Amino acid sequence: MSDIQFEIDGIQVTATKGRTLLEAAQEKGISIPTLCHHEKLEPFGGCRLCIVEVEVKGWTKLVVSCVYPVENNIIVRTRSEKVDRIRKTIIELLMAHAPDAPELVKLAKEYGADRNRYEKDPSFCIHCGLCVRYCNEVTKKNAIGFVDRGINKEISFIPEIAARECNECKECFPLCPTSYLQAAFVLTESLSFASYSKESK
């Protein structure tokens, strides 16, 4: 595959065609914050925290770096007044749902985000989809899914699969940026695993 040449934060970068800006930056040791990205998973572009500024022929736009492919001669800025302002707002919105999530607390410090800016709605899940996608794409067990849509969307273990598969696996647990996944598992386990174990005897 042909190589693409461009600039990130003043550094000249060469990357293989088809790589994303995030991957190219990471290969150069340039850090871009992410919440829904995982190197084993298909790009998702859900949290928007990884936005960066891209300049093409003098025009500037904001793009989601984990899904945006590298292009010749572009100038990428991973931090700018606009990028930082948007990241700060995203962090503040997510903190309304999961105010104590360690990753968010760390990011809030870096971007000067106010955890109390938006009215609290502590649903704890921030819909990054890491658990659902990892269970589907990597372990291929399909034991977790999203139910409902929009503001009512939430993750849910599928008890008949989870009762059989999850205790031996739990590979998704450390991926969750909040405490919600473990709590949801414990709840599902206590409410419904026993009946599925009995049924399977």
User: What is the spatial distance between Cα 104 and Cα 109, in angstroms, rounded to a whole number?
Assistant: 9
With binding defined as CB under 6 A, does residue 52 bind ligand FES? Answer: no
Burial profile 52-85: b = 16 or more Cβ within 10 angstroms, e = fewer: bbbeeeeeeeebbbbbbebbeebbbbbeeeebee
Q: Which does 127 bind (CB under 5 to 8 A by kind): ligand FES, ligand SF4, none?
A: ligand SF4
Does the footprint of ligand FES cover residue 36 (CB under 6 A)?
A: yes
The token pair that represents 127 in the structure block: 């819909």
> Is position 90 an interface residue for ligand FES (rule: CB under 6 A)?
no
Q: Which stretch binds ligand SF4 (CB under 6 A): 88-96, 103-111, 172-180, 186-194?
A: 172-180
Q: What is the DSSP letter of 47?
A: S
Query: Is there binding between residue 47 and ligand SF4 (CB under 6 A)?
Result: no
Q: Would you say 78 or 188 has its CB closer to ligand SF4?
A: 188
Query: Binding segment for ligand FES among 41-49, 84-92, 163-171, 174-182 (CB under 6 A)?
Result: 41-49
The entry of ligand SF4, ligand FES, none near residue 49 (CB within 5 to 8 angstroms by kind) is ligand FES
Q: Which does 125 bind (CB under 5 to 8 A by kind): ligand FES, ligand SF4, none?
A: ligand SF4
For residue 46, state whether it binds ligand SF4 (rule: CB under 6 A): no
Q: Which does 177 bind (CB under 5 to 8 A by kind): ligand FES, ligand SF4, none?
A: ligand SF4
Q: How near is the Cβ of 99 to ligand SF4 at its closest, in Å?
A: 13
Residue with Cβ nearer ligand FES (50 or 144) = 50
Q: How far is CA 166 from the centre of its chain?
A: 22
**Cα–Cα separations (whole angstroms), residue 75 to 26, 87, 115, 120, 154:** 16, 20, 32, 38, 38
- Name the burial class of residue 99, with classes exposed (0-12), middle (13-18) and buried (19+) by CB atoms within 10 angstroms of its CB: middle
Cα–Cα distance between 5 and 19 in angstroms, integer? 12
Summarize as ranges the residues that interact with ligand SF4 (CB under 6 A): 125-131, 155, 175-178, 180-181
